[in-house]
Amino acid sequence: MYALLSHDSACEVLRFLSARSTLPTECWPSVSQKLSGDQCVSTQREYRQLCEKVDLTSLGVRSAPTHLLVSSQQMRSSGRRAHFHVWSAELPANSCFIVGDDVLLSGPEFTIMQFAGATARLDGLLDAHAAAVAAEARMLADLGLEDHAMADSPLVWEHERRIVAAAVLACEFAGSYRLGMPGESTRYRISPIMSCNGLELMAAKAERTTAASRASKAARLAFDGSASPMETALALLFALPVEYGGFGLPRPVLNKPVDVSGYRGALSDRDQVSPDFLWPEKRVALEYDSGEFHFQGEKTAGTDAVRANILTALGYRVFRATPQTVRSLAGVELLGRQLACALGVVLEIPDEICTLRRRRLHAELMPCRRER
């Protein structure tokens, strides 16, 4: 009998093992197939028996309850130690890692699909929406303003929010950083464990479900090569469509090396530079200078400046952003207009609903202080 780690527990293990370069390489299943109901752990008792044989904390499971997949609603049991999620569709081929005889681990692409397919409680969504609209109406009345409270569809926003959340996770797993547990710092310079193209391929081959459809959209919105939570946030804010709350700018490439070896000794002291954001066809770059929260070691404010100077000397237009620049939506909007001007595009003016979504998106994406 095996336990299939999923959702938050799978994220914890993937982050823990990939940060230590000890992620398993043996995949399962070899072909798409249904979860075997009589072989997977599905009760609190079976979970306790598993814990007597396997130390899940050594794999990186740090928080409770542990999240596991089961094949049907009838197999779920309630309890504090394990939380069971139903996956009734076929498991995509090679979507899991074999961690041991008794434990399977959802791979990064499959984990993203799980989060993308999750649904919120409708009553909770509608109650929160009604409370937010009422609070805004009271605020406007207190200020003596006649403006009406904006009412976005909570179902539409929840749908888009889950796609964006899946894209954020995809950027992390396809990038070179891993978030830590609460109270722990983000880890940098970690090898990617998937690609956005790989996620889209798995979603395309999977059984047609809401999870697969949303994961496919997330793969097309996400970026390979992000080196920090803030790079992920800015890339998505600038490139997401206006109806999602983004700016609709052309998509940049992240941390892609630019060959400058032909100018070594004259305009450059190195063979290549890798700007944080690059629009190669327009020869426009953006550098995020995080100061206190930037990388330890090779990427420092000093090397950022050298890299920017090399690109400027070679005819690139290099923009700079700091935490002070982007911590407010007004700062991000100003930077977005400046980039649009340099890229030769006209930004679409958002309507009231899209303006509301932009505020929400900025609040959702901005990493907390320790992750910047």
Sequence-separated (6 or more) residues with CB below 8 Å from residue 166: 112, 115, 116, 214, 215, 218, 222
Residue 297 is predicted with a pLDDT of 41
Averaged pLDDT of the chain: 88
Residue 118 is predicted with a pLDDT of 79
- On the question of pLDDT at 167 being above 80, the answer is yes
Strongest mean pLDDT among 132-141, 147-156, 286-295: 286-295
Reading the block at residue 276, the tokens are 């944080």
Q: Which residues pair with 177 in a beta bridge?
A: 188
DSSP conformation class of 91:
B
* Reported confidence tier of residue 242, pLDDT bands at 50, 70, 90: very high
Domain spans in the chain, listed from the N-terminal domain onward: 3-106, 109-226, 232-372
Q: Which residues pair with 113 in a beta bridge?
A: none
pLDDT above 90: percentage of residues in the chain = 67
Residue 296 is predicted with a pLDDT of 44
Neighbours of 286 (CB within 10 A): 25
Phi and psi at residue 225, to the nearest 5°: 90, 5
Residue 132 is predicted with a pLDDT of 61
- On the question of pLDDT at 136 being above 70, the answer is no
Residue 218 to residue 170: CA distance in whole angstroms = 8
More confident residue, 185 or 252: 252
Mean pLDDT of 254-274: 92
Residue 231 to residue 372: CA distance in whole angstroms = 9
Ranking 147-151, 152-156, 222-226, 250-254 by mean pLDDT, the lowest is 147-151
More confident residue, 127 or 260: 260
Neighbours of 241 (CB within 10 A): 13
Phi and psi at residue 290, to the nearest 5°: -90, -5
Residue 48 to residue 322: CA distance in whole angstroms = 48
DSSP one-letter string for 33-74: B---TTTB--SHHHHHHHHHH--GGGGT--SSSEEEEESSGG
- On the question of pLDDT at 299 being above 60, the answer is no
pLDDT above 70: percentage of residues in the chain = 86
Question: Angle at which helices 196-205 and 210-221 pack, to 10 degrees?
Answer: 160
Residue 150 is predicted with a pLDDT of 56
For 279, the 3-state DSSP assignment is strand
* Reported confidence tier of residue 251, pLDDT bands at 50, 70, 90: very high
Tokens 């090396």, located at residue? 257
Residue 153 is predicted with a pLDDT of 65
Residue 79 is predicted with a pLDDT of 79
Mean pLDDT of 18-44: 91
Residue 166 is predicted with a pLDDT of 97
Strongest mean pLDDT among 49-53, 77-81, 195-199, 365-369: 195-199
DSSP conformation class of 103:
E
Mean pLDDT of 104-111: 98
Residue 206 is predicted with a pLDDT of 92
Do residues 8 and 182 touch, judged by C-beta distance below 8 A? no
Read off the pLDDT of residues 314-346 as tens digits, 9 standing for 90 and up: 999 999 999 988 999 999 999 999 999 999 999
Residue 218 to residue 220: CA distance in whole angstroms = 5
Read off the pLDDT of residues 39-57 as tens digits, 9 standing for 90 and up: 899 889 999 999 999 999 9
- On the question of pLDDT at 138 being above 70, the answer is no
More confident residue, 124 or 94: 94
Tell me the pTM: 0.88
